[in-house]
Amino acid sequence: MKTITTTDELAAYCTAAAAHDYVTVDTEFLRERTYYSKLCLVQLAMPGEDDSNAVLVDPLANGISLEPLYALFRDPSVVKVFHAARQDLEIFFVDAEVFPEPLFDTQVAAMVCGFGDQVGYETLVRKIAQQGVDKSSRFTDWSRRPLSDAQKTYALADVTHLRQVYEFLRDKLEETGRARWVAEELEVLTTPGTYITAPRDAWKRVKTRTNSPKFLAIVRELAAYREEHAQARDVPRNRVFKDDALVELASLKPKNAEELGRARLLQREGRKSAVADEILAAVARGVACAPEDMPKPDRSREKLQVNPALADLLRVLLKGKTEETGVAAKLIASAADLDGISAGLRDVPALKGWRRDVFGADALRLCAGEIALTAKGAQVKVVEV
């Protein structure tokens, strides 16, 4: 199995790959000790039935540049095939602000082809390629060199079997006319905002028991400081302090080092003088926040007048559509979507794009009393009123 360690070798391979309709791609990385993922390996395979045109690219090799790979990513004539691409795409976007175009994600495609919600690579390989995948090297340290033969074999399998999986799903989508569904789902994966964490918005990911604007103002300042500190030093945000410690600090509102010392959940990193001073400053900013500048939690759903009977009917309709299309119910509409529709909301994902075609249009007709539901054996049927 070939390992590419120079820019010239990578350029030659990418030039050859550009002559094909597609190339399969995967990565191995580490993130346990850093804020940003550390790219340790890139796997590539051109179409074919053997491993002769599959390679490993070592991004840690001295002097290598990934620009030839990024040029291939920009080539619109070659489909770049990934499985569960989000983390891979984040790596490439952070490194070079590049997205593979056009992109195909076999996990997304499998969901709309009836393989269930967030189906794993091993499952697809077993069902489509009738092959097994050895995952024994999954949790190895990919930054250590040299790589073992077992690691290399494991890594290559993630792109060689992917070729057959891709070709099957591509043909299935063409046969069923669902390629547009996949394209809609992939739009979010190629949107820069998906991978940019603005420190001032980091508080929105912290779970709290209260939506008090005064409390959330402190949470916002603490979360923003933590995000800035973690990004600047490339360390995991939880190494600075964890969410439970953040919420505790927002409750305690410490004014000085002595009061900060009473925090039970603050880790050693957060007690270092430089970090402790920044924590106190963040708390002070939150306490001093003017009312008009305090976070405004979204309470729109708290006021929803959910119609329980209608919500139940929508769930029955969703079940019928799931059985009819073979698409996982969670992918078509969430429980929140169903409750929102029953309460009169119309700006929900289930009423947009391909979901509207599959489910949303009939959901609205059900709400308007234009259709009814009936059961025939185990099947749910739509009846015109």
- Which CATH number characterizes residue 248's domain? 1.10.150.80
Tokens of 206: 């912290």
Which pLDDT score is estimated for 17?
98
Residue 288's SS3 state is coil
- Burial readout 6-16 (b: 16 or more C-beta within 10 A, e: otherwise): ebebbbebbee
- Helix 335-342 / helix 308-325 crossing angle, nearest 10 deg: 130
Note whether 17 and 104 are same-domain residues.
Answer: yes
Residue with tokens 């390992």, as numbered in its chain? 3
Per residue in 306-343, pLDDT (tens digit) is 999 999 999 999 999 999 999 989 889 999 999 999 99
- The last residue of one of the domains, among 231, 266, 293, is 293
Note whether 72 and 78 are within 8 A (CB): yes
| DSSP code per residue over 24-44 | EEEEEEE-TT-SS-EEEEEEE
Residue 40 in contact with residue 94, Cβ under 8 Å?
no
Q: What is the pLDDT of residue 134?
A: 80
Residue after which a domain boundary falls, among 293, 322, 347: 293
283 and 154 inside one domain:
no
> CA-to-CA distance for 155 and 169, rounded, in angstroms?
22
Do residues 118 and 179 both lie within one domain?
yes
- Start-to-end C-alpha separation, the chain: 64
Euclidean distance between CA atoms 271 and 244, whole angstroms: 15
- Record the tokens describing residue 320, joined without a space: 């019928």
Same domain, 240 and 178: no
Please, what sign has the CA dihedral across residues 190, 138, 42, 109? Answer: negative
Which range of residues forms the domain containing residue 364? 301-384
Compute the chain's Rg from CA coordinates.
25
| In a shared domain, residues 156 and 245 | no
pLDDT for position 302: 65
Residues 204 and 181 in one domain: no
d(CA 162, CA 158): 6
Q: Could you say which of 252, 273, 293 is where a domain stops?
A: 293
Selection from 154, 119, 122 nearest residue 41 by Cα = 154
Please indicate, yes or no, whether residues 68 and 165 belong to a single structural domain of this protein: yes
CB contact set of 26 (below 8 Å; sequence gap of 6+): 42, 43, 82, 83, 88, 155, 158, 159, 162
Phi, psi of 133, rounded to the nearest 5 degrees: -120, 125
Q: How far apart are CA 54 and CA 97, in angstroms?
A: 25
Please tell me whether residues 42 and 105 are part of one structural domain: yes
Peptide bond into 68 cis (omega under 30): no
Contact 362, 382 (CB under 8 A): yes
Do 174 and 83 lie in one domain? The reply is yes
Q: So what's the pLDDT on residue 124? A: 96
CATH, residue 78: 3.30.420.10
* pLDDT confidence of residue 377: 77
Angle of helix 67-74 relative to helix 86-96, nearest 10 degrees? 110
**pLDDT at residue 135 in the model:** 78
Are 239 and 223 a contacting pair, CB within 8 Å? Answer: no
Neighbours of 289 (CB within 10 A): 18
pLDDT of residue 136: 78
Alpha helices in 75-205 (DSSP H): 86-96, 106-112, 121-124, 149-176, 179-186
Euclidean distance between CA atoms 26 and 125, whole angstroms = 15
Count of domains forming the chain: 3
Residues of the chain with pLDDT under 50: none
172 and 282 co-located in one domain: no
For CA atoms 347, 338, 117, 202, the dihedral sign is: positive
Q: What whole-number distance in Å separates Cα of residue 30 and Cα of residue 40? A: 7
* 55 and 187 together in one domain: yes
Rounded CA-CA distance 63/78 in Å is 27
Does residue 190 share a domain with residue 49?
A: yes
- 372: domain CATH number? 1.10.150
